[in-house]
Structure 1
Amino acid sequence: MPKLIANALLFQLGWLACVIGGDSLWLLAVPAIVAVHLFWVSSWQAEGKLLISVFLAGSALDSFQLNLGVFDFGEPRTLIPLWLASLWLLLATTVNHCLAWTAQPWWRASLLGALGAPLSYYGGAQIAGVGLPYGTWQSLLLIGLIWALVMPVLHGFAKLYRAQYQQSLRTRKPA
């Protein structure tokens, strides 16, 4: 239980550092949080693939939404800022831990995504000064619909990589 609480608190600390600090030295909190996660809560061997996959897929998804005009960062850009991409990396640290309860049944993950993500994006947009050009409610509805699909997919990644990791432990030869 202490590791689950630490996992949730580390995510929240990282979320605040990214959203408040933007692309500043506050982003140094992210590698520190990921390092604490990998040394105390989990390990690179167990979760490295998940961290990379979620970071890349999530950054691509948000960059796609940026190019569709869902987000406005106040300057022309085709990729999301590093602080927003970093949030995906931080989220990946929670999937097997403090958010594991949402994996089964699948609708828990969908419900969390549909409700939690719009709140997180709205709060982040308000703090970081990100515009929602389609309108607040329209943007949040779209984000909720997307995340109702995203969260079960993230749990699917996690399940696949956990199975691969467990298989590697079983086939590893003793030294």
Structure 2
Amino acid sequence: MGHRGWLLGNAVWLQAGWWLCVLGAERPWLLALVVAGLALHLRLAPGGELRVLLGVALAGCVLDSTLGLLGVFAFSQWPLPAWLALLWLVLASGMRHSLAWLGQPLWRAVLAGLLGGPPAYLAGARLAGVELPLGALGTALLLAPIWALALPLALRVAARG
């Protein structure tokens, strides 16, 4: 598979993985497909990928667990549900590939995080049954600056691989 084919496949995987994770909150058997997709990704991706996936996903899980402890999210499982941990692995799997273009110049990642993070969280919360004690608007306003920082940092970590 050529470079463009890999990038397109990775972009499709990110979308499919997001849906599988979020819908897997209510249908846990879908999470097995996510694990299989991540295994395939690791098999096909260049070296150093596992370190990037684990580093970005661990940081993301700590972030979401902290937000849950602070009352931004009300998860049914503590510290966070399995589908959300898998979602962080899915997101991390695009950091060196179909999402890498966001990293340079830096403003792209800041803008993408600012504008893209909150709607993704709100949609995922609605589909997965996650309560938002601050309401949709309060949650979005809190998440926007967090994601304006988190996405560029995750892309930088991934680029250093």
Structure 2 residue 35 is the aligned partner of structure 1 residue 34: no
Q: Give SS of 2:144's match.
A: helix
Q: Which of 2, 5, 14 lines up with 2:5 in the alignment? A: 2
Q: Give SS of 2:31's match.
A: helix
Q: Is the 8 A contact 1:67 1:78 kept in 2?
A: no
Partner residue in 2 for 1:121: 121
Q: Which of 17, 21, 25 lines up with 1:14 in the alignment? A: 17
Partner residue in 2 for 1:53: 55
User: Where in structure 2 are there 5+ consecutive unaligned residues?
Assistant: none
Distance in 1, matches of 2:53 and 2:70, equals 26
Residue identity in the other structure for 2:149? L
Partner residue in 2 for 1:172: none
Structure number with greater Rg is 1
Displacement of 1:72: 1.4
Distance in 2, matches of 1:154 and 1:53, equals 9
Partner residue in 1 for 2:108: 108
Q: Is the 8 A contact 1:11 1:91 kept in 2?
A: yes
Q: Give SS of 1:98's match.
A: coil
Displacement of 1:56: 0.8
- CA deviation vs aligned residue, 1:11-67 (integer Å, no higher than 9, x gap): 111111111121712111122111221223x13x32111101011110010000000
RMSD: 1.3
Q: Which runs of 4+ in 1 moved over 4 A?
A: none
TM-score by length of 1: 0.85
Work out the percentage of aligned pairs sharing the same amino acid.
44
Q: Is the 8 A contact 1:30 1:86 kept in 2?
A: yes
Distance in 2, matches of 1:91 and 1:57, equals 12
User: Where in structure 1 are there 5+ consecutive unaligned residues?
Assistant: 162-175
Partner residue in 2 for 1:130: 130
